[in-house]
Structure 1
Amino acid sequence: MFDAPAELLLAVPEYKVPLPGGTTQSQNDVFALVRHADQTCATMIEGKVNEPFDKTVSEWLSIPKDGKLLRLRYICELLGLDPENPPLHLRYQLLHRSASALIEARRFKTDEAAMIVHSFSPTSMWFEDFARFANLLGASVEPDQSSTVKTKSGQRLRLGWATGNADFLAA
């Protein structure tokens, strides 16, 4: 996923990142600080087997709650997307996990942020949703490689799909 050998500096499971517009935080499977060459990266890792990336933005918005529009606007602006025309067809989880990475990259003053999907699906289930999301941000992705985009704010965001070892699925 990184251009040089990576060194894990810190990993925190079930890491929560506050987002404006409500009381629910973005709960990431793993937050990791990673060093590669002379760069440090704030990384959010989303583990998957066969489950989807939760609801589409359209489905998420259909359940009225205070602050959802504020939250979506904030996430869109952070990712460099048009807040007046949010990507209703994309999976909301991909948006807020990537936003979490950018938020923590700012907080920890890292060189870049990353949102990595660690998929244990033997068929790469839901990769198409991830690829659509990456394409919207200007990235072209392939399994087991990463792609980096620069947000409008100047932050670098690395997106990647890591294929997990299927042996870990056997009990």
Structure 2
Amino acid sequence: MPDEIARMFGDSAELLLAFPEHKVALEGGNRDSQNDVFALIRFDGLTCAATIEGKVNEPFGPTVGEWFADPSLGKRNRMRQLCDLLGVEEAPLPHIRYQLMHRTASALIEARRFKTDEAAMLVHSFSPARMWFEDFANFARLLGVEAKPDHSSTVILTSGQRLRLGWATGSGDFLRC
């Protein structure tokens, strides 16, 4: 496990397993949420189901306003599921990035499936300029968390599920050819 991801959990973090390109089924539509990495992580006697979204300079895809414009029944069903999982009102603010919602929902779904103590959605950013951090911070605020680079924060959702959100800065060495 990269050190910057391990630091999101403290000194005792241990990677139990990880799967790249892990798909999680969501209601509505016919496309699963495909997470860059799904990991089970043990720390401080707890277990976490984590989705990790790797980024360099690409955005988090369309905003909710763009994705949910003139929604089909499938999109309405999916948005209802995402909002229920995240404990937010139907169709959150239009500037929130849709990808952050479904990646976080994936972590919550898998945490229930594996009966872990918490779920986490982490961004592993390799952008020296921390591109798109503000989009992540806006999403974190929607859930009642103040995001800071290279830190994680936890929130207890209305469902009682514990969620960790974090932004980890990856080593620039991986950007050199």
Q: Which residue of 2 aligns with 1:77?
A: 84
How far apart, CA to CA, are the structure 1 residues paired with 2:11 and 2:107?
Answer: 20
1:63, distance to aligned residue in structure 2 (A): 6.7
Counterpart residue number, 2:41? 34
Q: 1:30 to 1:155 in 2, by over 3 A?
A: same
Which residue identity lines up with residue 156 of structure 2 in the other structure? K
CA distance in 2, matches of 1:61, 1:109: 31
> Where do 4+ consecutive residues of structure 1 move more than 6 Å?
none
Match of 2:104 in 1: 98
**Partner residue, 1:122:** 128
d(CA) in 1 for partners of 2:118, 2:138: 22
Residue 119 (structure 2) pairs with residue 113 (structure 1) = yes
> Gaps spanning 5+ residues in structure 2: where?
1-7
Deviations 1:105-143 (A, max 9, x none): 000000000000000000000000000100110101111
| Percent identical | 66
Query: 1:46 and 2:53 equivalent?
Result: yes
State the aligned residue count.
Answer: 170
Counterpart of 1:159 in structure 2 is 165
Matched, 1:144 2:150: yes
SS in 1 for 2:163: strand
Cα root mean square deviation, aligned = 1.1
Q: Per the alignment, do residues 61 and 110 of structure 1 end up closer, same or farther by CA in structure 2, a change over 3 Å counting? A: same
Judge which range, 55-64 or 27-36, deviates more: 55-64
CA–CA distance in structure 1, aligned partners of residues 71 and 102 of structure 2: 18
TM superposition shift of 1:149: 0.6
Determine the C-alpha separation between the residues in 2 that align with 1:57 and 1:44.
20
Q: Which amino acid aligns with 1:159?
A: L
- 2:176 matched to 1:170? yes
Q: CA deviation at 1:89?
A: 1.3
Q: TM-score, normalised by structure 1?
A: 0.96
